[in-house]
Amino acid sequence: MSDCVILREFSTACGRRFGHATLNAPASLNALSLEMIDRLAPRLDAWAADPGIVGVVLDGAGDKAFCAGGDVRSLHRAIRAAHEAGETVAPPPVRAFFEHEYRLDYRIHTYPKPLLCWGHGIVMGGGLGLMAGASHRVVTPQTRIAMPEIAIGLYPDVGGSWFLRRMPGHGGLFLALTGAAIGAADARFAGLADFVLAHEDKSAVLAALADSRWRGEAEDDRIRLGALLEARTLRAGVPPSTLRRHFDRVEEVIAHDGLHRLAPRLRALADDPDPWLAAAGAGFAAGAPSSAVLCHAIWQRVPRLSLAEVFRLEYRLSLTGTMQPDFAEGVRALLVDKDRRPRWRHAAIDAVPADYLDRLLDACVPHPHPLADLD
């Protein structure tokens, strides 16, 4: 449907305009589909080229979620059909989804104008991929952020290889290996958000954007938008950062060890008296061993890669990773049959080939790479 993303503009006091894009699939918690991506991306390009547009607002319909992730059910259906047809490579809908999604994420990271993302409620997977690159990232006390791909036999993509690696310490690797959820103060501490505002103030923020005079100079307008949001930032009533409170503990668990040495420490957290740490340990224990191996291997691989190189690596890895049995099984157990009892291909980390990452990358070397033009 053409209204899967609502696109509109509003005028400001200086006569210039803001673009406003709303992900509009509240029944699926605004899960990001290829149709949504293909509706949003060209409008962002058009707004970037329009001298009358001074900035963009990106949000989600409803009060529950900005975006709960990519539309993995659709990917699962396409992959199942490919498997049943005896195909071993990702079918065209899967290739298109990842290429277009990553191109959109990269566009947001490099957008030439202020881009305000209102990350209220659930922000997971592909939703965080959209929010992470925005110039002004707002979260609310109700925000819940996670990269839970280990639960579906995948890895944190959509640039997660880039932004999780840039969190303090080993916090990003901890989140990747456990799928643990974090809140607003955590997101600020982790560098995944810039402002914590009350969701009830959203209308007032939009009104303030309209009432302000903008210069049409990107840097000046970024500063003006930041000041406008900072003036409304919540100073009280936001639960303190759990991630920050447990920073030293996370560092002790992850350390600079190999996966085989840190894995027992992560599993032991399932018995921790702290509920957040216990949930993290349980998430790791229940996740796909192959995903854990990928997460740890990617962590070692990406520090010297550029953002564009990360997206090119993720594209190759996602095409082959989603065709592995663990992805189909993880989606089945979590989202289709919902029995939450996945039967992973590898029963333990020791059973996963040590060069698993390289095997998947070598299985997909597109020529030319569809994201070769990212720089």
pLDDT tens for residues 292-348? 999 999 999 999 999 999 999 999 999 999 999 999 999 999 999 999 999 999 999
- Encoded tokens for 44: 């962002």
Q: What's the average model confidence in pLDDT over 245-263?
A: 96
Query: Is the dihedral angle over the CA atoms 331, 332, 334, 340 positive or is it negative?
Result: negative
CA distance 198 to 29: 20
Helix (H, G, I), strand (E, B) or coil at 123: strand
pLDDT tens, 271-296? 999 999 999 999 999 999 999 999 99
Count Cβ atoms below 10 Å from residue 318 Cβ, excluding itself. Answer: 27
CA distance 365 to 367: 7
pLDDT of residue 237: 87
DSSP 331: H
pLDDT, one tens digit per residue, over 60-116 is 999 999 999 999 999 999 999 999 999 999 999 999 999 999 999 999 999 999 999
Tell the burial category of 258 from Cβ atoms under 10 Å away from its Cβ (0-12, 13-18, 19+). exposed
Q: Evaluate the CA torsion angle 303, 307, 309, 312 in order and state its sign.
A: positive
Contact 309, 120 (CB under 8 A): no
Q: Grade residue 160 by pLDDT with cuts at 50, 70 and 90.
A: very high
CB 148 within 8 A of CB 120: no
Over residues 6-51, the pLDDT tens digits come to 999 999 999 999 999 999 999 999 999 999 999 999 999 999 999 9
- Please report which confidence band the pLDDT of residue 2 belongs to, taking 50, 70 and 90 as the band edges: low
Sequence-separated (6 or more) residues with CB below 8 Å from residue 15: none
pLDDT in tens, 225-242: 999 999 999 988 899 999
User: What is d(CA 196, CA 18) in angstroms, rounded to the nearest whole number?
Assistant: 21
Q: Which of 23, 6, 20, 5 is nearest to 53 (CA)?
A: 20
How many CB atoms within 10 Å of residue 338? 9
134, 67 Cβ separation under 8 angstroms: no
Q: What string of DSSP letters covers 32-99? A: B-HHHHHHHHHHHHHHHH-TTEEEEEEEESSSSEEE--B-HHHHHHHHHHHHHTT--S--HHHHHHHH
Q: Residue 1: is its pLDDT beyond 60? A: no
- Tell me the mean pLDDT in the region 205-224: 98
List the domains of the chain with CATH numbers.
2-362 (3.90.226.10)
Across the chain, mean pLDDT equals: 97
Mind listing the pLDDT tens digit for each residue in 169-214? Answer: 999 999 999 999 999 999 999 999 999 999 999 999 999 999 999 9
